[in-house]
């Protein structure tokens, strides 16, 4: 059982970040905010696949006008990413956003004071942070060539120092509704930075590996960085940044949380790697079942499904799952709740398995 770091609880729309709130999944809209219709449709798709908070890039007045319409069309908390524009932050808050994300190192203190004042008045949090690119903006830190990775003066240490200074700045203004983020593209640095920051404060953390990239590399990098910290109880909201559709970011985030046993979203599939004993096309069966499950609407689910290649290890795993298949010669033996039920021809395995999953999932545990 993972013991989560104790943090303050920060309100985000109708949800919370930190404290005893579930670790929240975020993603970001990937079309211009000014394109109201496309943004609303992307937010709907994100909501359907389980996204819990959506960030939007706010770059000009057109985006602000669209933001007002978007806000009226959805209940999901919206986070305005305002880069370094004070006026856009203020207008976004007035448009009703639930959180502002900013990098204070890129902004003037006068503007930050105005933002903190209005955010406090409206009861919304600020996500403040720094990324490794901002380190050079800090006047009291040594230049990059003299830095190692994690030691004093290194990138992780410098990030922590930078964010710590900004935390104090906001605290001096009487503003405490903060979520913190420390970003670099290197897994090792991120882990070190968050570990150090966790010892210095009790603000909730937003986790993510910035610009992780695309495909398998990006998923592995994000899973390691985010997963290691979550396993240590560090992290209160996550975003997996992928150069892919935002729905994919949400699915990977769900898989990270589910793999660690932190939250459950969909049935868990266990399948063997196959070997010379396998006499059915197991990869094809598993792929089809997984694909179809994404279209089912039975989330969250704690069902366990085992799809195994043969009778050597198959029955053991299949018996321990809620539903299982142990492959035979062009067929599979179906197990339900630990008991063998019937043999199914290979051609009908996917269809029959999905039917059984559907049936069982209506009575499945819906713990989240
Ligand atoms: Fe091979 Fe059977 Fe084990 Fe699958 S379950 S890896 S087919 S021995």
Q: What was the pLDDT predicted at 365?
A: 44
- Ligand 1 within 6 A of 318 CB? no
**Is the model more confident about 29 or about 218?**
29
Q: What was the pLDDT predicted at 186?
A: 84
Task: Assess whether pLDDT exceeds 50 at residue 137.
Answer: no
- Ligand 1 within 6 A of 86 CB? no
Q: Which helix (H) or strand (E) holds 55?
A: strand 53-57
Q: How far is the CA of 261 from the centre of ligand 1 (A)?
A: 26
Confidence of residue 148 (pLDDT cuts 50, 70, 90): very low
Express as a percent the part of the chain with pLDDT over 70.
91
Mutate to test the pocket of ligand 1, among 314, 328, 331, 332 (most ligand atoms within 8 A of CB): 314
- Ligand 1 within 6 A of 294 CB? no
C-alpha–C-alpha distance, residues 30 and 197, integer Å? 30
Express as a percent the part of the chain with pLDDT over 90.
70
Of 58, 46, 166, 185, nearest in space to 103 by CA:
166
Is residue 300 a contact partner of residue 265, using CB atoms and an 8 Å limit?
A: yes
C-alpha–C-alpha distance, residues 334 and 342, integer Å? 5
| Ligand 1 atom closest to Cα of residue 310 | 2
- In DSSP notation, 93-158 reads HHTT-SEEEE-GGGS-HHHHHHHHHHHHHHT--EEEEEEGGGGGG-TTS--GGG--SSSTTSHHHH
Q: How far is the CA of 84 from the centre of ligand 1 (A)?
A: 56
Which of 6-10, 57-61, 315-319, 354-358 bottoms out in mean pLDDT, i.e. has the lowest? 315-319
- Ligand 1 within 6 A of 307 CB? no
> What average pLDDT does this structure show over 333-360?
92
Mutate to test the pocket of ligand 1, among 270, 271, 309 (most ligand atoms within 8 A of CB): 309
Where is mean pLDDT largest: 298-302, 310-314, 343-347? 343-347
C-alpha–C-alpha distance, residues 271 and 173, integer Å? 54
- On average, the pLDDT of the chain sits at 89
Q: Tens digit of pLDDT for each residue in 44-96?
A: 999 998 999 999 999 999 999 999 999 999 999 999 999 789 999 999 999 99
pTM > 0.85: yes or no: yes
DSSP structure class, residue 22 = P
Task: Assess whether pLDDT exceeds 60 at residue 302.
Answer: yes
């Amino acid at each position: 059982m993972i013991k989560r770091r104790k943090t303050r609880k920060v309100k985000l729309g109708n949800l919370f970040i930190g404290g005893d709130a579930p670790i929240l999944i975020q993603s970001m809209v990937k079309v211009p905010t000014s394109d109201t219709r496309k943004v609303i449709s992307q937010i709907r798709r994100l909501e359907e696949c389980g996204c819990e908070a959506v960030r939007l890039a706010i770059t000009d007045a057109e985006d602000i006008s669209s933001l007002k319409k978007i806000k009226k069309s959805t209940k999901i908390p919206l986070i305005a990413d305002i880069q370094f524009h004070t006026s856009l932050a203020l207008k976004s808050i007035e448009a009703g956003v639930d959180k502002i994300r900013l990098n204070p190192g890129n902004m003037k203190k006068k503007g930050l004071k105005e933002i903190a004042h209005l955010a406090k008045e409206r009861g919304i949090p600020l996500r403040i942070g720094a990324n490794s690119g901002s380190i050079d903006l800090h006047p009291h830190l040594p230049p990059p060539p003299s830095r190692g990775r994690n030691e004093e003066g290194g990138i992780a240490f410098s990030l922590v120092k930078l964010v710590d200074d900004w935390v104090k700045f906001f605290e001096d203004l009487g503003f405490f509704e903060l979520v913190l983020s420390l970003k670099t593209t290197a897994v090792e640095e991120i882990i070190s930075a968050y570990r150090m920051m966790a010892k210095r404060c009790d603000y909730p953390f937003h986790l993510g590996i910035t610009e992780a990239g695309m495909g398998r590399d990006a998923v592995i990098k994000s899973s390691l960085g985010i997963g290691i910290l979550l396993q240590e109880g560090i992290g209160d909201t996550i975003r997996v940044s992928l150069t892919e559709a935002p729905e994919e970011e949400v699915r990977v985030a769900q898989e990270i949380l589910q793999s660690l046993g932190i939250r459950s979203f969909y049935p868990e599939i266990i399948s063997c790697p196959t070997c010379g004993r396998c006499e059915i096309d197991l990869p094809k069966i598993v792929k089809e079942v997984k694909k179809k499950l994404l279209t089912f609407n039975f989330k969250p689910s704690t069902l366990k499904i085992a799809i195994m290649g043969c009778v050597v290890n198959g029955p053991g795993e299949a018996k321990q799952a809620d539903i299982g298949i142990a492959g035979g010669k062009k067929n599979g033996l179906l197990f339900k709740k630990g008991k063998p039920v019937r043999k199914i021809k290979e051609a009908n395995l996917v269809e029959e398995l999905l039917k059984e999953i559907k049936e069982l999932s209506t009575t499945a545990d819906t713990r989240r």
